[in-house]
Chain A
Amino acid sequence: MTSLDQNAAPGRLPAIPHSSPVTGFWTLYRKEWLRFWRVSVQTILAPILTALLFLVVFAYSLRGRVDVFPGVDYAAFLVPGLAMMSVLQNAFANSSSSLMQSKMTGNIVFVLLPPLSHQEFFGAYLLAAVARGMVVGAGVLVATVWFVDLKLVYPLWAAAFALGGSGVMGALGIVAGIHSEKVDELAAFQNFIILPLTFLSGVFYSIHSLPPVWQAASHLNPIFYMVDGFRYGFFGASDVSPWLSLAIVGTSLFALSFFNLWLLRSGYKLRH
């Protein structure tokens, strides 16, 4: 009987090929990128169109009626908020839906059988979620820049909050994807937690236009700090200090990352 492997030594135990520690992480990231890129009409173009529709409807209906920052047109005020809302929602959707679908179809085994470390697993799904969030956010800005006069006063601040915010939502999406066992459960997460928090985060208004009790409530919403900080990068003005926002986003990202690694180590709902 001829050997299957031309390099095999007859009668000897097959040697395990040498493997690279970074390749596993990079491969999983590439697969996750491919997963959303191959259906980009649904995952990228559709959210950009949705943001454009929000801009058209809200800018025309609320322009001149809502006080935002001094000297800032309402439509221009709206754009960074819409871009950031798209970044956050799509970062969450990418990781949560990918894990959920893999679990439902059973092909999650192809990721659980290999020797990927918990850090590689988490890092790849997180980076892909950030990538999709950033691509959608950039697309929203590119699509809307034709309709408003938009400035970017502090681009590094904007980038920091876009990356940090998409990281937080991507990490939250991993938690949701691991926990959810049915489509209903994930939909509940999105409809009752993510959607309300993003809509009530100051995307469409400055919180200073709210009554004090609602201003205080907004400060309890972590997404508010992401949107406010991102907007600071465009106008140099914000409802709260950008350093406070950065600290909250950074702490949230750290805590969620730690929690995710703990979940993965425990095997919760991935390894029975």
Chain B
Amino acid sequence: MIPAIQLDGVSKHYDGIRALDGVSLTIGQGEFFGLLGPNGAGKTTLINILAGLVLASSGSARVLGHDVVADYRAARRALGVVPQELVFDPFLTVREALDFQSGYFGLRNNRDWIEEVMHHLDLAERASTNMRALSGGMKRRVLVALALVHKPPVIVLDEPTAGVDVELRQALWQFVRRLNHDGHTIVLTTHYLEEAEALCSRIAMLKHGRIVALDTTQNLLRLHLGCYLELRLQPDRLPESLAALVTLRREGGYRLGLRDYAEVERVIAELRSAGISIQELEVLQPDLEEIFVQIMRKS
């Protein structure tokens, strides 16, 4: 099966800055793929190369087998991109923006699909509103709608929930899950790691323009063995024998990193021997954020 996205040795240099350094990546059709990394890691550059907004310095990128430079028309027809910035055309209403975007993709008589997309994104009541008059959250919805007018098989969302409220974030997650259920390949970049953990089946982590981790979400989570133990102690001190396990210290509490659950018993025994009583105890599972921080530190 032709991959939805194929990157082979893609590099991008800007005036001596290496934004991407030999990135190779394959994303299968129907995947829900996460692209994570700190600011400046190269996520947006990678997306912009796929979209044709940036020309790679070397390497090749394909969308559903179509080279994004040599066969750019077919590649762009197959791709929908929700940009990170809240950009809009101030001369247009919501419906006009969608009509025009539809026309740019060569589609006539697309009104039924546009109405459907507006309905699912709660834009129908604001269809005749000028883009300038919309709130940030509504503009974000319009950006998603604009990326969908031509029913692209591959959809890239660049931090779609940045700066949006919880209700809209939940609504967008639900909407994007439905798109994936319908067969669309989704590529998501986000700084909200709980979002990536909840939605993505496979994740790539970028740092300084290189992939530093690429695996299924489950495998990445299993990289961190064991658990965390959150403790509130009386007196508020820890025996020396347990000092090496501390991962976080805050007023009135400690977080210890344990290799496995069996160590919980040892910790409790050591505290009892030292005459320290446990006021509160909580066992925490590692999350993607912990994995991400560990991987970024190692790289």
Enumerate chain A residues within 8 angstroms of B73, measured Cβ to Cβ: 115, 117
Is the beta-carbon distance between A16 and B151 smaller than 8 angstroms? yes
Binding site for B on A (CB under 8 A): 1-6, 8, 10-17, 19-21, 23-24, 26-28, 30-31, 34-35, 38, 105-107, 109-117, 267, 271-272
- A16 and B91 in contact, given A3-B178, A24-B104, A27-B100 (Cβ under 8 angstroms): no
Is the beta-carbon distance between A16 and B153 smaller than 8 angstroms? yes
Is the beta-carbon distance between A13 and B29 smaller than 8 angstroms? yes
Is the beta-carbon distance between B150 and A17 smaller than 8 angstroms? yes
User: In the assembly, what is the distance between CA of A188 and CA of B224, in Å?
Assistant: 59
Residues of A contacting B: mostly: loop
Enumerate chain A residues within 8 angstroms of B268, measured Cβ to Cβ: none
Is the beta-carbon distance between A13 and B101 smaller than 8 angstroms? no
A104 CB → nearest B CB, Å: 11
Is the beta-carbon distance between B54 and A272 smaller than 8 angstroms? yes
A113 CB → nearest B CB, Å: 6
Is the beta-carbon distance between A19 and B106 smaller than 8 angstroms? yes
In-complex Cβ contact of B101 among A8, A17, A26, A110 (8 A) = A110
Mask of B135-152 contacts with A, CB within 8 angstroms, 1/0? 000000000001000111
Is the beta-carbon distance between B91 and A272 smaller than 8 angstroms? no
- A-contacting 9-mer, from B74-82, B229-237, B278-286: B74-82
Asked if B246 lies at the interface with its beta carbon under 8 angstroms from chain A, I say no
Asked if B208 lies at the interface with its beta carbon under 8 angstroms from chain A, I say no
- A271 and B181 in contact, given A14-B151, A106-B87 (Cβ under 8 angstroms): no
Enumerate chain A residues within 8 angstroms of B100, measured Cβ to Cβ: 27, 30-31, 110
Closest B residue, CB atoms, query A106: B87
In-complex Cβ contact of B120 among A4, A16, A272 (8 A) = A4
8 contacting pairs across A/B (C-beta < 8 A): A3-B181, A15-B153, A16-B153, A19-B77, A31-B100, A110-B146, A115-B106, A271-B54
Closest B residue, CB atoms, query A28: B104
Is the beta-carbon distance between B52 and A271 smaller than 8 angstroms? yes
Closest B residue, CB atoms, query A6: B116
Enumerate chain B residues within 8 angstroms of A21, measured Cβ to Cβ: 106
A110 CB → nearest B CB, Å: 6
Is the beta-carbon distance between A16 and B85 smaller than 8 angstroms? no
Enumerate chain A residues within 8 angstroms of B152, measured Cβ to Cβ: 14, 16
Is the beta-carbon distance between B108 and A23 smaller than 8 angstroms? yes
